[in-house]
Amino acid sequence: MSKTIIISNRLPLQIKLEDNEINVSPSVGGLATGMKSVHEEGDSLWIGWSGLAEEDLNDETREKVQKEIEKNKCAMVPLTENEVDHFYYGFSNKTLWPLFHYFMEYTTFENENWECYKEVNKKFADVVLEHAEDGDTIWVHDYQLLLLPGYIKEKKPDTSIGFFLHIPFPSFEVFRTFPWREEVLRGMLGSDLIGFHTYDYERHFLSSARRLLHLDTNFNEISYDDRIIKIDSFPMGIDFKKFYNAALNHENEELEKSDIQKRLDEHLHSSDDCKLILSIDRLDYTKGIPNRIKAFEYFLEKYPEYQQKVRLVMLAVPSRSNVPQYQLLKRETDELVGRINGKFSTVSWTPIWYFYRSLPFENLIDLYTSCDVAMITPVRDGMNLVAKEYVATRVHQDGVLVLSEMAGAAKEMNEALLINPNNFEGIAQTLKQALEMPKEEQKTRISLMQERLERYSVEKWAEEFFTALNSTKQVRNTLVSK
Ligand code: ADP
Ligand code: F6P
């Protein structure tokens, strides 16, 4: 029977080593959380990296990791420390990530990293080819594997290959500064279908293919290498039911309390009528964390009546901490939180509760359900699933989503209060509007967004992607039989 092979740099499970024992937790990030539901439901194999360097493992731990990975219907691409350094931290996260998010001043162009990126993409191709059988469908994910579709197509031209980019595709003016632009485009064009979160990213890709490779495009199709490649947008959804039901059950269950939950309880039982504003993200410079903190400071100054009446609960998950820009951001965030708490705190009130850690799913639900407003302010974000998850957990149809226009999610969430993350005046006014929004209006906005999220769930997203990929297969078969 044919299967789907999902390939991404990171597997849906994160494996850590502690005293020769392995510790397994779910991976954080939109790709892993979204695709996890698709993987669990279908007949699929997920190929990716365990998160550990080969040198960290001995025979015993390698076997344990292997078993855990197989138990989860996954297969591993082993990476050495050198590859983690040059492929993952280097080319993926010091070149592609900042460039595609328009952080050109953070982007480095190192030939050594590029060479390693190619080698690791080839390594992924070898593992895929080991597992791929005739009739299988291959679905490659994200910017760490832009060359992989080309390598697979070269060896197995009849295989159906889909590629989805989870981050923005930058405009031509930015993309053309990239030294390896043609190779990367050709690698992506090894696919039969290329998907993006939004129409804008799709448009940017088509424009780069036209202008850099001089390819013919017809509406959303590209002729390349005697093949027609389809380019389309598929805004990724969430597992709506999982979040909605978890929020419902959460109300009825006595869960073991985390320190965050204890703080929330303390808050709920205290006599102050403080409202909670939530933000959750990986600690990443694209997420607009300093902007958010500074805008919150501006809000407290502009509307002093809100001091002691509102609190920002900020959860940041450690991410890519070997990259200097992430270390700088951590320092900046610590300093900003410290400065603002020092400036405004009273004996009974701290304006910002800041947590720097990953959390189990139940505790995320605690946060989503306990906060009156979610304030999500990326300066650039492919989609942003946190915004969607917050809305999905509001089972009483209350709560307000304040969302940056720069997130892909803003294109589908018109009922959110949209802000420009660089406009502190605008954010402060919007925050006030959110905190004062009548319950009826909250209900109208949340229920409209929930209906849409339920209809266009992650299952539907995957289904539409597969349908489009299958239709490219049919077109190919018709062309061959002619
Ligand atoms: P990105 O893919 O850039 O990290 P998204 O907002 O699209 O951003 O996805 C983040 C995902 O990671 C969400 O599904 C969210 O539930 C999950 N997540 C975020 N913070 C945490 C955390 N502290 N603990 C566990 N999961 C988290
Ligand atoms: O969605 C963007 C993304 O880079 C995913 O590819 C990745 O799973 C997630 O963010 C987390 O990043 P990392 O795998 O580098 O921890």
Task: Transcribe 155-173 into DSSP letters.
Answer: H-TTSEEEEE--SPPPPHH
Which residues have C-beta atoms less than 6 Å from ligand 1? 28-30, 33, 280, 282, 315, 317, 358-359, 364, 383-386, 389
Per-residue confidence band for 114, with pLDDT thresholds at 50, 70 and 90: very high
Q: What is the pLDDT of residue 2?
A: 86
* pLDDT, tens only, 377-408: 999 999 999 999 999 999 999 999 999 999 99
Rounded to two decimals, the ipTM of the complex is: 0.96
Determine the distance separating the centroid of ligand 2 and the alpha carbon of 294, expressed in angstroms.
26
* pLDDT, tens only, 133-192: 999 999 999 999 999 999 999 999 999 999 999 999 999 999 999 999 999 999 999 999
**CA-to-CA distance for 85 and 320, rounded, in angstroms?**
11
* pLDDT, tens only, 429-451: 999 999 999 999 999 999 999 99
Q: What is the pLDDT of residue 258?
A: 67
Residue 289 has pLDDT above 90, yes or no: yes
Q: Where are the alpha helices (DSSP H) in 287-359?
A: 289-302, 324-344
Q: What is the pLDDT of residue 481?
A: 59
Determine the distance separating the centroid of ligand 2 and the alpha carbon of 9, expressed in angstroms.
8
Question: Do residues 48 and 74 touch, judged by C-beta distance below 8 A?
Answer: yes
* 186 Cβ contact partners less than 8 Å away, ≥ 6 residues apart: 150, 213
Mean pLDDT within 445-464? 96
**CA-to-CA distance for 260 and 358, rounded, in angstroms?**
12
Question: Do residues 204 and 215 touch, judged by C-beta distance below 8 A?
Answer: no
Q: What is the pLDDT of residue 469?
A: 96
Per-residue confidence band for 68, with pLDDT thresholds at 50, 70 and 90: very high
Determine the distance separating the centroid of ligand 2 and the alpha carbon of 282, expressed in angstroms.
9
Whether 31 is in the pocket of ligand 2, judged by its Cβ within 6 Å, is: yes
Instruction: Tell me the two tokens of residue 36.
Output: 């996890």
**% helix / strand / coil in the chain, to the nearest 5?**
50, 20, 30
Per-residue confidence band for 473, with pLDDT thresholds at 50, 70 and 90: confident
Q: What are the beta bridge partners of residue 407?
A: 381
Pairing type for strands 352-356 and 310-317 reads parallel
Whether 319 is in the pocket of ligand 2, judged by its Cβ within 6 Å, is: yes
Question: Do residues 84 and 54 touch, judged by C-beta distance below 8 A?
Answer: no
**CA-to-CA distance for 122 and 125, rounded, in angstroms?**
5
* 450 Cβ contact partners less than 8 Å away, ≥ 6 residues apart: 240, 244, 391, 392, 394, 397
Instruction: Tell me the two tokens of residue 129.
Output: 């080819």
Average of per-residue pLDDT values in the chain: 94
**CA-to-CA distance for 33 and 183, rounded, in angstroms?**
30
Task: Look at the chain and count its residues.
Answer: 482
Question: Do residues 280 and 369 touch, judged by C-beta distance below 8 A?
Answer: no
Q: What is the pLDDT of residue 268?
A: 58
* pLDDT, tens only, 257-285: 666 767 776 765 565 679 999 999 999 99
